Amino acid sequence: MNIEALHREYAAGTTTPAQIVEAIFARIASEGVHPVWISLIPKEQVLQRAAALQNQDPTKLPLYGIPFAVKDNIDVANHPTTAGCPAYAFTPTESATVVAKLEAAGAILIGKTNMDQFATGLVGTRSPYGAPSSVFSKDHISGGSSSGSAVAVASGLVAFSLGTDTAGSGRVPAMFNNLIGLKPSRGVLSTHGVVPACRTLDCVSIFTQTAADAAAVLDVASGPDPKDPYSRTPTPGAGASPWAAASTFKFGVPAPSALQFFGDTHNPALYQAAITALKSLGGEPVEFDLAPLLAAAQLLYKGPWVAERYAVISDFIQAHAAEMDPTVAKIINGAASYTAVDYFDSAYKLQHHLRQTEQAWKAFDLILLPTAPRTFTHAEIAESPIERNSQLGFYTNFVNLLDLSAVAVPAGMRPDGLPFGVTLIGKTLAEAALLPLADSLQRKLNQTLGGSKDLLAGTTPLKPATTPTGTLLMAVVGAHLTGQPLNWQLTDRGGKLVRTCRTHPDYKFYALKNTTPPKPGLVRVPGFEGKGIEVEIWALPSDTVGSFVDGVPQPLSIGKLRLEDGTLVMGFLVEPEATQDAFEITNLGGWRNYLATLKK
């Protein structure tokens, strides 16, 4: 089940939202509520919602009739929130901001999904409501803590679901169930109405079968929220991802000696296949030191950040520890021993690791890692619940601490029939840029959607944005071209070459006098019918454009330039007066052709 397919069926009149709801509830009645769900919205209430939608214009509702689920630490008005602990349950009068946004866009909420209690775990087994299994094996865990949310999507009960992610809970279950798991940067999705785990690190996550669906949900659900003090309002240049428009990019991979699979024999080869696939999409692997990221990860559960979990439920755990999952109670109770001194010591360490990773990011645009080293059976988790949970977070625990964005991507099937997954990790606020690449990578490595036999090839690819996140397109014609003396002014600002093309035919081109280094001038002459002038289009981080423009000397200027396809971009122009004593080179079609004539 995916958004595109449902909208196609609604448009064709082959089904209705009410019929979809009836089919979902029939399946749940047949399969049972637990362990995937903790509770359902009453069927009659959901049917009323579906009937009301049929009187609205689908073209004005981007998620018209799309069924979804939310993890049971996310509030739904007048419906219990348990956080996976019955003794903690309360009934909110207001829905979480993200839920309200999704419903306003036409989505239909089916129910609240199972989870590791208080979102403490990556296994999906720490719940009194049962332990969901991977849709591929009843013996293997679903992953957690957003266990039910992942299984509900992978099994086709809903088209998308919301989870939460502090340490990897929106990514590990995605791998174990062959899903896209989008973990946006902190603050992109409001956490107002979400029971915190670590409030300073928590993110609402999105599970879907395709990257296009994740992008559609992100578009609806994101945005600043005055009710959430950790909500973000992006500034110009925030999340700048010039690489997303380029034909080539660089991606970080750890040294082979740093990789850990904890005894698994299948996943190393699948990870190497993912590297090969990303190379075929234009990526160049760059080896980097994983150690600073792993050192930061250690702070999450072996440092005072675990005390945030205690801060959320300190009164409750003191009175109800016996009613909690024993492993969860042990982890959270242990946090009470941390002091303010411990916090500051760890904060200093984290800042050190952050600076180390900032240096590493200068060598690449994104990182490719296994989502999890391996999977486990329910029996294996029961044997060693804390150690093996820790192993699952080997490649995920550092991401929120370092304020990064991530998309977990299905990456093929193992010989034993279980899915493997990798994660694309980007800088802060780069999630929208990661999703089209995730789509392309999924199409290289995977054939089916979730736990179904539906083919990914039957869905529409997600195209990258013409202008990537946080960037501005700039056309250059002379000394700033690749290999020319001022090209460094683009590359030093993080600019990436997007493509080479031509201007609209109505431009004349001149070699200017008395310029150092030599520079050309481009002038639009309405009615002139030439062949267009060769230009390079560069994507620049928006917050660097001001300093770039400030360095442009007279008689040159930056203005709107029309390309051969009619689109407008910023680009170099010249004051017409400067062309009076210049040498016209329009017939040569570009600056490189002119320079070639000088060598003859």
Q: Which residues span the domain enclosing 35?
A: 3-224+246-458
Q: What does the pLDDT look like over 432-467, one tens digit per residue?
A: 999 999 999 999 999 999 999 999 999 999 999 888
592 within a domain of the structure (yes/no): yes
Domain boundary residue among 434, 458, 482?
458
**Per-residue pLDDT tens for 504-525?**
999 999 999 989 999 999 999 9
Q: Is residue 302 scored above 90 in pLDDT?
A: no
Q: Are 143 and 179 in contact (CB under 8 A)?
A: no
| 400 and 547, same domain (yes or no) | no
Looking at 458, 488, 508, the residue that finishes a domain is 458
Which CATH number is 591's domain given? 3.10.490.10
Rounded average pLDDT over 552-581? 94
| pLDDT of res. 236 | 86
Q: Is residue 498 part of a domain?
A: yes
CATH code, domain carrying 277: 3.90.1300.10
Q: Are residues 113 and 210 in the same domain?
A: yes
Say if residue 303's pLDDT is above 80.
no
Asked whether residue 433 falls in the same domain as residue 540, the answer is no
Q: Which phi and psi (to 5°) does residue 239 adopt?
A: 70, 20
Cα distances (angstroms) measured from residue 210 to each of 180, 252, 596: 6, 24, 48
Domain boundary among 458, 484, 501: 458
Kindly state whether residues 83 and 163 are assigned to the same domain: yes
Angle between helices 431-445 and 211-221 (to 10 degrees): 160
541 and 399 together in one domain: no
CA angle 96, 97, 101 (to 5 degrees): 120
Do the domain assignments include residue 465? no
Q: Output the pLDDT for position 234.
A: 86
Catalytic residue list contains 169: yes
Span 156-162, average pLDDT: 98
> Does residue 241 sit within a domain?
no
Instruction: Work out the percent of the chain whose per-residue pLDDT is above 90.
Output: 88
Give residue-wise pLDDT tens across range 525-550.
999 999 999 999 999 999 999 999 99
Residue 542 among the catalytic residues: no
Average pLDDT value for residue range 99-107: 98
Tell me, what's the pLDDT at 207? Answer: 98
pLDDT at 600 over 70: no
33/307: higher pLDDT: 33
Same domain as 213, residue 346: yes
In the chain, pLDDT over 70 holds for what percent of residues? Answer: 100
Confirm whether 64 is domain-assigned: yes
Q: Are residues 440 and 477 in the same domain?
A: no
One domain, residues 350 and 379? yes
Please enumerate in sequence order all residues whose Cβ is within 8 A of that of 352, keeping only pairs 6 or more positions apart, or say none. Answer: none
Structural tokens at position 44: 């009659």
Number of domains in the chain: 2
What is the strand order of the sheet 520-524 is part of?
520-524, 507-511, 583-584
Q: In which element (H, E) is residue 271 found?
A: helix 267-280
Q: Which of 127, 142, 145, 147 is catalytic?
A: 145
Give residue-wise pLDDT tens across range 320-375: 999 999 999 998 888 878 888 888 998 999 999 999 998 899 999 999 999 999 99
Tell me how far CA of residue 141 lies from CA of 181, 264, 297, 474, in angstroms.
17, 16, 23, 49
Q: Residues 489-511: what's their mean pLDDT? A: 95
Cα 215 from Cα 315, distance rounded (Å): 39
Same domain, 97 and 145: yes
Residue 306 lies in a domain: yes
Concerning whether 145 is annotated as a catalytic residue, the answer is yes
pLDDT for position 531: 94
**What are the Cα distances from residue 317, in Å, to 85, 230, 303, 326, 333?**
11, 25, 20, 11, 8
Which of the residues 155, 169, 231, 440 is marked catalytic? Answer: 169
Residue 541 to residues 23, 218, 405, 527, Cα–Cα distance (Å) = 47, 22, 18, 34
Report pLDDT for 334.
81
Matching residue, tokens 């007048």: 78
- Are 454 and 332 in the same domain? yes
Within 8 A by CB and 6+ apart from 300, the residues are 166, 167, 198, 201, 306, 393, 397, 398, 401
Instruction: Please tell me whether residues 439 and 301 are part of one structural domain.
Output: yes
**Does one domain contain both 151 and 255?**
yes
- Residue 117 domain-assigned (yes or no): yes
Which residue blocks in 335-429 are alpha helix, DSSP H?
340-361, 378-383, 385-392, 398-401
Strands 180-183, 405-413: pairing kind = antiparallel
Global pTM value: 0.93
Residue 211 in domain: yes
